[in-house]
């Protein structure tokens, strides 16, 4: 199965890197690289992580890594990474606007 990282998720990763780089540029690079690898590893077991509670019908799953959540959707032939967000952010408003 392939992993497709959406433009929104790429922008999230860049924003995360920029934020961390303000205090630690080297760590920003390694942390974003690790987050990216966690995204790609979803190809191996895409249904290993749960659907987002209260929004199960959307098919969106989330994979935690440290203080971040990787939101993704599993299609027939691909894992689509939707967003990578800090767990303290209001992800419901970003991901589920149209379903409310």
Domain boundaries, the chain: 2-99
From CA 4, how far away is CA 82, in angstroms rounded?
Answer: 9
Give pLDDT, residue 91: 87
Tokens read off for 31: 């942390």
CATH 3.30.2310.20 fits 2-99, yes or no: yes
Return the bridge partners of 69, or none.
Answer: 64, 85
Give pLDDT, residue 99: 46
Give pLDDT, residue 57: 92
Q: Report the predicted TM-score, pTM, of the whole model to 2 decimal places.
A: 0.92
Count how many Cα atoms sit within 13 Å of the Cα of residue 63 in the half-sphere of its side chain. Answer: 24
Residues of the chain short of pLDDT 50, as ranges, are: 99-100
Give the contacts of 87 (CB within 8 A, at least 6 positions apart): 64, 67, 68, 69
From CA 91, how far away is CA 88, in angstroms rounded?
Answer: 8
């Amino acid at each position: 199965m392939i992993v497709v990282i959406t433009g929104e998720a790429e922008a999230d990763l860049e924003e995360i890197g920029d934020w961390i780089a303000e205090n630690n540029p080297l760590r920003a690079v390694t942390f974003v690289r690790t987050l990216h690898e966690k995204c790609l590893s979803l190809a191996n077991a895409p249904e290993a992580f749960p659907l987002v509670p209260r929004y199960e019908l959307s098919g969106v799953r989330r994979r935690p890594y440290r203080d971040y959540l990787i939101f993704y959707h599993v299609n027939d032939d691909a894992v689509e990474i939707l967003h990578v967000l800090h767990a303290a952010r209001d992800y419901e408003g970003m991901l589920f606007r149209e379903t409310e």
